[in-house]
Amino acid sequence: GKTRVEAVDLVAGNSLWRSDKIKGGVMQMAVDTENDLAAVVFVRDAKGEPKDGFKRRPTVHLLNLATGEELWKRDLESEVEMSPARWSGDGDEAFYTLDNYRAPFFLDGRLWLFYDGVTSLDARTGNPGIREKFRVNEEGLALTEADPVVDERHIYVSGRGRARAISRATGREVWEAGDLGLTPEMILANGTLFVRTGGQFTRLKDGEVIERGPYGVSAIDPSSGKILWRY
């Protein structure tokens, strides 16, 4: 009945700080230990009958990791479709989660979020940076896009049948490679970005596992976005 965020000493087990002023359910977190920052994503009223199309607007709260003090909070610009924690046909209410989205992370002084596309926020102020909007959870399936991949120059993200590179220096898109299909996995190895396409995915409306192609691998030049080969 009450949300609580708490920091606990790993060795002694005693509580370092506790915050119970933020309302909503804790969905995802990101931590930047070097700068003593913790980003916590909350969603209010995330409960209802299991079904597809259940949407809520996430709120990001940025906390001082050492003290628990709230530095800023920001409501995201749009509601996003959520995934029930369980599927049932008996009409009982279920809690909803953001498990159908890749987790946020800190990089280069910015917080990166992957709900309804790609969003970056200044970690200290919450001011918006890049905002690239595209449909996530294509065809009503969860995690059809890959975990982001990072190298010294770019952040590589996927979604909407495309892979794209975003400059770490400017936050702008550098290139886009299209017509790949569903792209649930990317790996950067030996100077090449490998993108796996197709696979098995959870359908949000009923929890059924659905297979979707085309199945294969595409190799992409990470500097230019040129597709080198497809299997």
**Two tokens at 145?**
């896009």
Judge whether residue 85 has pLDDT over 90: no
More confident residue, 32 or 137: 32
For residue 51, pLDDT over 80 is answered with no
For residue 90, name the pLDDT band (cuts at 50, 70, 90): low
Where do we find the tokens 């297979």? 211
Q: For residues 52-78, give the mean pLDDT.
A: 91
**Cα–Cα distances in Å, from 39 out to 138, 171, 217?**
26, 20, 34
**Comparing 79-93, 137-151, 162-176, 198-212, which segment has the lowest mean pLDDT?**
79-93
Residue 112 confidence class, pLDDT cut points 50, 70, 90: very high
SS3 (DSSP) at 142: coil
Looking up tokens 């970690």, which residue turns up? 123
Output the pLDDT for position 98: 94
Distances (CA, A) of 119 to 40, 65, 94: 15, 22, 28
Averaged pLDDT, 94-109: 92
- For residue 179, is it left (φ>0), alpha (ψ between -120 and 50) or beta? left
